[in-house]
Structure 1
Amino acid sequence: MTRTKAPRDGAKHMTMDSPLGPIAVSAVDEGLTYVHMGAEEIDRAWGPEGATPVLEAALEQLEAYFAGELTEFDLPLAAAGTDFQHRVWAALRAIPYGTTVSYGDIARRIGNPAAVRAVGLANGQNPIAVVVPCHRVIGSNGKLTGYAGGVWRKERLLALERGETGLFAA
């Protein structure tokens, strides 16, 4: 049985086709709340379909990112989460395009080097994938670790950021 979250007041969503499959983006007036990869089914938490300035900007920036033309997103964010999760997500946004770091690196960056597992959980619960680049976090051994959108998507996002845009050609 799949549980759906209650929609946030005022949330709306829009969808787009991407090189990684369908993507849905959700937002409230204050900012982006979700980026859903592999969004074949609509979730109540996304709110009804409808355009907003935040959603239109998000789709435009995602298209530019996938075209290799955008390296840093500039969108207001309004993801629900704990203070700890927001600290982790802020650290993720500071990872430069085309680079990777480990969970331990993020734990040290937020001033809690013993919180490696908690960082991993917060990373996995990031609701704004790609825009908040959780795909740039890898294991301390250099191996790709789990990714909510599937490890194959993580591999393709990292390849794109290395300049291997041919993977995204039609």
Structure 2
Amino acid sequence: MTYTYHYHSPLGGITLSSNGTELAGLWFDGQKYFGDTLPKEYEEKSLPVFEQAVRWLDIYFSGRAPGFTPPLLMKTTPFRKMVWDIMLAIPFGKTMTYGEIADKIARKKGRSKMSAQAVGGAVGHNSISLIIPCHRVVGTNGSLTGYAGGIDRKVQLLTLEKADMASFFVPKKERLESGPF
């Protein structure tokens, strides 16, 4: 059985999902790919894993690094899991580029090169947002692009983490899609 729980964040509603013991999903309500790992039938219920996730979110939205990770269930492909594991290692307030992640995976696989676009697809389909911090992944040129929760939220999250925003910019195309800040 899959269970859900709803959390009210300063940046909008968040839906969490679990198999009963591990967190399997965390999406801003209405984000791209919302609920992509949710089955058609699920039950809203309070669970210890949701209590842990809420504690994590409360600490995070207070502007501090939580210092722990609730148990996670990554329902995904082996390639995406590799990308998500790398994202889990990006420290609070820091960023990494799609290209840097691609280079790490290429080295792990013994290849000379890996597609940054393939990494982008894996980052975009992250079903446990925030905890697996896809908002910390940026373009090589400093472009703040490709956040399923919306570019405005990406900016707000990085600002909350006190990330150095001096070299980042929102591409004109993204600005038109997400609207003004």
Could you say whether these structures have the same fold, taking a TM-score greater than 0.5 normalized by the shorter chain as the test?
yes
CA distance in 2, matches of 1:69, 1:93: 16
* Residues 108-117 or 142-151, more deviating: 108-117
Counting only pairs closer than 5 Å after superposition, residues 3-14 of structure 1 correspond to structure 2 as: 10-14=1-5
User: Cα RMSD between the aligned structures?
Assistant: 2.2
Q: Name structure 2 gaps, 5 residues minimum.
A: 165-181
Determine whether 1:59 maps to 2:54. Answer: yes
What is the match of residue 178 of structure 2? none
Give, in angstroms, the shift of residue 92 of structure 1: 0.2
Q: Name structure 1 gaps, 5 residues minimum.
A: 1-9, 165-170
Give, in angstroms, the shift of residue 87 of structure 1: 0.4
Give, in angstroms, the shift of residue 108 of structure 1: 1.2
TM-score with structure 1 setting the length: 0.83
Counting only pairs closer than 5 Å after superposition, residues 39-50 of structure 1 correspond to structure 2 as: 45=39, 47-50=42-45
Query: Are the aligned partners of 1:20 and 1:38 in contact in 2 as well (CA < 8 Å)?
Result: no
Q: Flag the 1:146–1:68 CA change in 2: closer, same or farther, 3 A.
A: same
CA distance in 2, matches of 1:158, 1:121: 21
CA distance in 2, matches of 1:121, 1:22: 24
What is the match of residue 101 of structure 1? 96
CA distance in 1, matches of 2:141, 2:55: 35
Q: In structure 1, the residue corresponding to 2:135 is in which secondary structure?
A: helix
CA distance in 2, matches of 1:150, 1:47: 26
CA distance in 1, matches of 2:160, 2:63: 7
What is the match of residue 160 of structure 1? 160
Determine whether 1:89 maps to 2:84. Answer: yes
Q: Flag the 1:86–1:163 CA change in 2: closer, same or farther, 3 A.
A: closer
Residue type at the aligned position of 1:18: S
Q: In structure 2, the residue corresponding to 1:36 is in which secondary structure?
A: strand
What is the match of residue 147 of structure 2? 147
Residue type at the aligned position of 1:86: K
What is the match of residue 117 of structure 1? 117
CA distance in 1, matches of 2:84, 2:158: 18
Q: Flag the 1:103–1:137 CA change in 2: closer, same or farther, 3 A.
A: same
Q: Flag the 1:97–1:69 CA change in 2: closer, same or farther, 3 A.
A: closer
CA distance in 2, matches of 1:114, 1:163: 27
Query: Are the aligned partners of 2:94 and 2:136 in contact in 1 as well (CA < 8 Å)?
Result: yes
TM-score with structure 2 setting the length: 0.78
